[in-house]
Amino acid sequence: MSKEYRKDPEVVSRLSPQQYHVTQESGTEPPFRNEYWDSEEPGIYVDVVSGEPLFASVDKFDSGTGWPSFTASIEPANVVQVDDSTLGMVRTEVRSAHGDSHLGHLFDDGPRERGGLRYCMNSAALRFVPLADLEREGYGEYRRLFDGADGG
């Protein structure tokens, strides 16, 4: 990766109240009432704060939870896992490495045939980049993920 990703205070100041609550205050948006929970459009999801690439639609699945769920990250170095015991139980929080945004949580109840992981993310922490816009927005290297996939 040649692009430098970072937490940009100017971008943070332009976040919607929901985006700020989720990414900066480790909040959670309502299930089934968020932008990407049922989206099937091909493309990638990047951190709304830093722009670092996180997930691809080819790894997205319907978990039935009402939040966008993925089986893997497209750039494992961009995803940090942190123990979270805020609700009286230990969960694994997922944060972006460079933007330090709260993204959601990681669970081990994903599709077994795809590794068994479920990255349960908040739409408010993500920005979707459609497949057709990858090159124009500087994410052209991720087009390879869609070779042979529907929509690619």
Q: Which residue from 143, 147, 119, 123 is spatially nearest to 133, judged by alpha carbons?
A: 143
Per-residue model confidence (pLDDT) at position 88 = 74
> Which of the residues in the chain have pLDDT under 50?
1, 151-152
Q: Alpha carbon of 134 to those of 6, 27, 147: distances in Å?
A: 20, 29, 13
Q: Which residue from 31, 93, 37 is spatially nearest to 60, judged by alpha carbons?
A: 37
Q: Catalytic residue numbers?
A: 120
Is the alpha carbon torsion for 57, 63, 69, 70 positive or negative? negative
Please state which CATH class domain 9-133 belongs to: mainly beta
Per-residue model confidence (pLDDT) at position 39 = 96
The predicted-structure confidence for 106-143, as pLDDT tens digits, reads as follows 999 999 999 999 999 999 999 999 999 999 999 999 99
Per-residue model confidence (pLDDT) at position 149 = 61
Q: What's the pTM value of the predicted model, to 2 decimals?
A: 0.92
Which residue ranges make up each domain of the chain? 9-133
